[in-house]
Structure 1
Amino acid sequence: MQRRRRGVDVGLILLLSQVFQVGLENIPPVTLGTLALNVFLFLKPLKPLLKVCISVDQGYYQKDWQRLLLAPVHHADDWHLYFNMVSLLWKGIKLERKLGSVLFGYIIAVFSVLIGIVYMVLEFALAGLLNDSSYKMNCAVGFSGVLFALKVLNNHYHPGGTSNIMGIRVSSRYACWLELVAIHLCSPGTSFAGHLAGILVGLMYTLGPLKMLMKAIAGDFPYFNDSARQRDYYSGYSRHPSYPYNTPGDYDTYTGGLTEEEQFERALRNSLHDRGRNFIALDILSYCLS
C-alpha cells in the first residue's frame, strides 16, 4: 500500500479552505487538534503506509501493536484525508460541544485504539468462517472507523430526524447501517470490517458497557456527569454568543450548501464516473454524514 501522489493535493487545499471558512476560533480544541494531527501526519508521515496500516497478520501475529495508534491518523491520499476530516469537523463541533472537550478527547483516544482491535477480531472471524486466510492480511488505514463510531454517538445524543442515503429515506438512527452497505457495494475496495468495527464500538459505548468501563478506568473522572460537561462547555470557545454553528443548518457554510446526504451521493457518483478515484478515500467518505 503506497500513498498516491498526483502533484497538487487538491483535497488538502479544499480541506484547509473549509477549515478557514468555519474559522479556527469556532472549532473546539480537541476536534481542531485531531484534525491538525491528521493533516501533519499526511504531510510528514511517520512511516510508509505499509508500516502503519493495521491487519491481523501485522498487528496480532507480528505483535506490531504501535499500528493501533498509527493506522487511524494516516491516510492514503489527499481525498481520503479530505472526506474524513470534513466529516470530523461536523461531528466534532456537535459532539465536543455536547460532551465537553475532556470527555470527547478521552472518547477519541479510546475509540481509535479499540476500533483497531475490533477490526482485527472481525477479520480473524471472517478468515475462519470463510476459510480464507487472506482476510488476515487485509490492512486498513484511516480515520473512517472512528467516524462511524462518532456517527453512532451523534445519533444517540441528537436523536430524531431522517437521512437520505442514495434516495432512500431512513431514520438517522439506522443511517450508519445503510451507509455501511452502500459504501461497500459502490466502492468494494473499502474496508467493510473497519467501518463495521466503528459502528460496533459506537454501540458498545451508547448501550452502556464500554461507557461504564471507561468511567471505571477513569476513576473519579468528573466529566462523565452533566454538570462537569456544562462547565467545560462554558469555559472555552462555546461561551461566545457569536459562535455561529449552533444548528445543523449552519453546516452549509463549509459544505458549499450541500447536505451531508448530497455530499455522500456526489462522492459515490464521482466514484462510479471515474473508477480511478475509487481509492481508499471513498473508503471513508462522508461516512458518516450527519
Structure 2
Amino acid sequence: MPRSDRRRDTLPLLLLLSQLREIGLDNVPPVTLLIFVVNVAVHLFVYEIGLDEVCLIPVLVFNYHEYIRIFLSPFFHGDNWHLYYNMVSLLWKGKQLEESPMGSNRFLFFVLIAIPATSILHLAIAQMASSFFGADQYVHQCCVGFSGILFAMKVILTYNSPGYAEYWGLHIPMKYLAWFELVLIQMVTPNASLLGHLCGILVGLLYVRGVFNLIFRLTDRLPINNILAAFRARRHAQHQHHPYYEFHYT
C-alpha cells in the first residue's frame, strides 16, 4: 500500500526543518548530514513503495530469501512523526559522535556496519524466540525505521559517561540509560519494535567492547577522513564568503 496517506501531516516536517535551522546546516557534520538527507529523501520521494514491501519481516527473509529488507528497512519510516523523532535524534547523536575522536571516517563505517548488524541480530533473536519459546509474533512483525542504529549510537555515547540521567525523580546511571529508554519506549509506545531497539543496544555494546576493531583498523586507513574534512572546510569557507546568508520562507 502506498505511503502517501501517511505523509499528510506536515507539522512534523516543519518542526524538523526548524530543528535543522536551529542547529545550523553548516554545523551538521558531513556523514550525519548525508544520512539525514537519505532518510528524508526516501520518506518524501519514495512514497509509491509500501512499507510491507521493505520492512524487516523475519519469516519472509528466512522463507523467501528477501535479504534486501535487511538493508532497506532502516531507511523507511511509518509516518512523518516517526521520521521527525528519529531524525532529530540522529542530528544530535550523529553530531556528537562524528565530532568526537571517532571522527567522520569511523562514524561512516560504524553506520554501514550497524545497519546490517542490527537487522541480522533481529532475525536471529526472532527465530530463536519462535523456535524455543513459541513466540511466533516476532517472526511476523513488520519493522521499519532508523531507531535501531540510533540506540547503538546512544550506547556508544553513554557507556563510559559518568553521572546519572534523571527521569521523574529516578537517577539512571548513564551506562544503563539506553536500557531504561528501551523499557520506557515500549511502555509508552507498545507498537515500537522491541527487538529492533534491543538489537541496536547489542550492536552498540559490541562496538564499545571492541568486537569491530579489526574492521576499523582497516577502514581507518582509507582517505575518507581527508575527503570529508576538505568538504567541510569548503562548506565553512562558502558560508564565510556569504556572511549575510539567511533563510526565507515563501
Question: What residue in structure 2 maps to residue 44 of structure 1?
Answer: 45
Question: What residue in structure 1 maps to residue 221 of structure 2?
Answer: 222
**Aligned partners of 1:27, 1:55: CA distance in 2, in Å?**
33
Match of 2:150 among 129, 147, 150: 147
Question: What residue in structure 2 maps to residue 186 of structure 1?
Answer: 188
Question: What residue in structure 2 maps to residue 67 of structure 1?
Answer: 69
Percentage of matched positions with identical amino acids: 36
Change (3 A) 1:236 1:126: same
Shift of 1:69: 1.4
Deviating more after overlay: 88-97 vs 7-16 = 7-16
Match of 1:132 among 131, 135, 151: 135
SS in 1 for 2:99: helix
SS in 2 for 1:222: coil
**Aligned partners of 1:18, 1:220: CA distance in 2, in Å?**
32
Change (3 A) 1:132 1:155: closer
Q: C-alpha root-mean-square deviation of aligned residues, in Å?
A: 2.7
Change (3 A) 1:221 1:234: closer
Change (3 A) 1:176 1:220: closer
Match of 1:53 among 52, 55, 62: 55
Q: Name structure 2 gaps, 5 residues minimum.
A: 237-250
Change (3 A) 1:6 1:208: closer
Shift of 1:5: 2.3
**Aligned partners of 2:201, 2:233: CA distance in 1, in Å?**
28
How big is each residue's C-alpha offset from its partner over 1:143-180, in whole Å with a ceiling of 9 and x where there is no partner?
A: 00000000011124x62232123442111110001111
Whether the aligned pair in 1 keeps the contact of 2:105 and 2:220 (CA below 8 Å) is no
Shift of 1:130: 2.4
SS in 1 for 2:165: strand
Question: What residue in structure 1 maps to residue 177 of structure 2?
Answer: 175
Deviating more after overlay: 35-44 vs 57-66 = 57-66
Residue identity opposite 2:185 in structure 1: I
Question: What residue in structure 2 maps to residue 12 of structure 1?
Answer: 13
Shift of 1:115: 0.5
**Aligned partners of 1:235, 1:110: CA distance in 2, in Å?**
24
How big is each residue's C-alpha offset from its partner over 1:91-145, in whole Å with a ceiling of 9 and x where there is no partner?
A: 1111001122121111111101110111111111111232132321111100000
**Aligned partners of 2:65, 2:41: CA distance in 1, in Å?**
26
Structure 1 runs of 4+ with >3 Å offset = 1-4, 231-240
How big is each residue's C-alpha offset from its partner over 1:201-228, in whole Å with a ceiling of 9 and x where there is no partner?
A: 110111012333x236xx36327xxxx9
**Aligned partners of 1:166, 1:103: CA distance in 2, in Å?**
36
TM-score, normalised relative to structure 2:
0.84
**Aligned partners of 1:161, 1:124: CA distance in 2, in Å?**
37
Match of 1:109 among 97, 109, 112: 112
Deviating more after overlay: 142-151 vs 20-29 = 20-29
TM-score, normalised relative to structure 1:
0.73
Question: What residue in structure 2 maps to residue 35 of structure 1?
Answer: 36
Q: Name structure 1 gaps, 5 residues minimum.
A: 241-290
Question: What residue in structure 2 maps to residue 94 of structure 1?
Answer: 96
**Aligned partners of 2:71, 2:7: CA distance in 1, in Å?**
27
**Aligned partners of 2:227, 2:96: CA distance in 1, in Å?**
14
Match of 1:197 among 199, 202, 211: 199
Q: Which has the higher contact order (CA 8 A, sep 6+)?
A: 1
Whether the aligned pair in 2 keeps the contact of 1:56 and 1:137 (CA below 8 Å) is yes
**Aligned partners of 2:219, 2:121: CA distance in 1, in Å?**
27
Shift of 1:22: 1.2
Whether the aligned pair in 2 keeps the contact of 1:165 and 1:179 (CA below 8 Å) is no
